[in-house]
Amino acid sequence: MTSGAEPLAEPQEITRLGLSLFIILSGSFLAPLLMHSSTLAIPAIATELGLTAETVSWFTLAQVLASVCLVLPAGKLADKFGRKKIFCIGMLLAGGACFIGGVAQSGTEIILSRALQGIGSAFIFASAVALVMSVPPEDQKARVMGIYISIAYLGIVTGPLFGGYVIESLDWRWVFYLPGVAMTSIGLTGFVWLRWERFGNRASRLRALDTFLYMAALSLIALGIFDTGSLQGQLLLIAGVLSFAAFFRFQTKRRSPLLEVSLFLNNRTFAILGTAHLLIYSGILALPFTLTLYFQFIKAFDAQTTGYFLLIQALCTALIAPFAGWLAERFRRRNLIFSGMVLFVIASVMLIFLHAQSPVAWVLLALVLVGTGVGVMDAPIIHACMSSVEDNMLGSASATLNGLRIMGGFVGIGVVSFLMEKHLGEREIIPELYPSLMTVLHQFFQVAAVLAVLGLLLLVAGIVRQRRERAKS
């Protein structure tokens, strides 16, 4: 050991295995449930507090921006201080954010609550998969991982149902209060009762400069998106893009980078599928937000009915995803990924033709196609990416792939926010502005379709190049 280096943590026996798994799986269920149920409450919040369209668009963007800014640093912190500790801190942060949202009297307080939810989610998901892989005995890891995936999808499925029922039966504030009590209780239980893993790899480093540059670039992009109509906004957006490019370049020089750029520069499989993952999720993760506005404002459905509609996508994914491994054994992974992307392209094109008088069945069919596509392609993409890296890079690859997914949501919500600022501005969403709201939705679905087609073309190019290389050899 070199002089001045801190010792690595000694392996510690996992105590209270059942309680440990309960806490990990509960957090993995509650985090997506909170995100999707609180998204469903946006129209009720906007109506009661009299919020403008610009403020409403910040609800989801603040959460996604906070999550994408913190997911990579949270992974480094989990390596250094222990994954259990970071996971429990994430639960407490998300729980505290819920109480802020529950008592909120202004749009600023709701935005703060959503941002803290994003930070908490980043801490939770930066450590959850690693905990699932390290806590159970070796002969139970595969089974527990399957349960973890099912529980996470169940949270997505349950979120709209829970949110719709609570909003209609109680009040939108209870959408925050109830998960807040559960997450705070579980986080405190983890700190008090789980004694294992006092710290992680104390030699791991999280550099302040890397973190600042990464977060600053993303924040500049977000601020620029909101004000692209002015010269100041355009300059901020340009500065953000250039800053992120500079950060990417800077990370190639680092010995222990925050963003492992070698995954993109030296691994074609990871680069192609990771980029396609980002492009697809730029449309997928913004769908609940856009369709919540469509169903509750344009179609005048209540929150509970909207929750049932949005359930369709997640339910299809939850039903199909567990069979993705079985399908991968019988079909080539690239064929499954290609099929999933085609389904999403078809759904995006369908939504372009959406209008105020469209039958609900048209939207539900599009959601079925999206959910089926994600269920078919998600697991093969993750498996192919993780199989393409060496064992000592699995942690970085996992964090990077999760970051790309969240980054896709950031891009999608950013596009929606830009369109809302352009067409609605600082005005409440009232019936007179519904045609403008439909314009926002149409233009977003057009962008989503273009991004989906680009992802599909990227995959086709990779397949063609791979076949040519095989033919030459």
For residue range 267-277, what is the model confidence (pLDDT) as tens digits?
888 888 888 88
Shared-domain flag, residues 361 and 428: yes
Residue 318 three-state SS: helix
pLDDT tens digits along 78-118: 777 777 888 899 999 999 999 998 998 888 888 899 899 98
Q: What are phi and psi of 165, to 5 degrees?
A: -65, -45
272/167 same-domain check: no
Domain presence at residue 152: yes
Task: Please identify, among 165, 188, 206, the residue that sits at the C-terminal boundary of a domain.
Answer: 206
Same-domain check for residues 296 and 438: yes
Count of domains forming the chain? 2
Q: How far apart are CA 33 and CA 24, in angstroms?
A: 15
Inter-CA distances, 164 with 19, 37, 174, Å: 30, 7, 11
Q: Are residues 311 and 163 in the same domain?
A: no
Residue 68 — very low, low, confident or very high, per pLDDT cuts 50/70/90?
confident
Same domain as 277, residue 189: no
> How far does CA 54 lie from the centroid of its chain?
22
Confidence band, pLDDT 50/70/90 cuts, at residue 3: very low
Q: Which two tokens stand for residue 207?
A: 């550099």
The span from the CA of 376 to the CA of 387, in Å, is 18
Flag whether 236 is in a domain: no
Examine the pLDDT at 440 and tell me if it is beyond 70: yes
Q: Which of 13-17, 39-43, 250-254, 320-324 has the lowest mean pLDDT?
A: 13-17
Query: Assign residue 205 a region: left if phi > 0, alpha if psi is -120 to 50, beta otherwise?
Result: beta
Which structural domain, as residue segments, surrounds residue 122?
A: 13-206
Highest mean pLDDT out of 172-186, 308-322, 377-391: 172-186
Q: What is the pLDDT at residue 9? A: 47
Beta strands in 263-401 (DSSP E): none
Phi-psi group of 358: left, alpha or beta (phi > 0 → left; psi -120 to 50 → alpha; rest → beta): beta
* Contact of 269 with 388, CB cutoff 8 Å: yes
Q: Select the more confidently predicted residue: 185 or 289.
A: 185
* Residue 63: CATH number of its domain: 1.20.1250.20
For residues 188 and 268, state if they share a domain.
no
Q: Output the pLDDT for position 8.
A: 44
Query: What is the SS3 assignment for 259?
Result: coil
With respect to residue 8, please indicate whether it lies within any of the assigned structural domains. no
The average pLDDT across 2-20 equals: 54
Please report which confidence band the pLDDT of residue 281 belongs to, taking 50, 70 and 90 as the band edges.
Answer: confident
pLDDT for position 226:
64
Which residues fall within 8 angstroms of residue 103, CB to CB, at 6 or more apart? 109, 173
The string of pLDDT tens digits covering residues 133-142 is 677 776 666 5
In the predicted structure, residue 30 carries a pLDDT above the cut 50: yes
pLDDT > 90 fraction of the chain, expressed in percent and rounded: 13
| Rounded Cα distance, 315 and 22, in Å | 23
What would the pLDDT profile of 370-425 be if each residue is shown by its tens digit? Answer: 988 888 887 777 777 767 777 556 556 666 777 788 778 778 877 887 888 788 87
Q: Is 227 helix (H, G, I), strand (E, B) or coil?
A: coil
DSSP 138: G
Per-residue tokens: 273: 């599928």
For residues 233 and 224, the answer to whether their CB atoms sit within 8 Å is yes
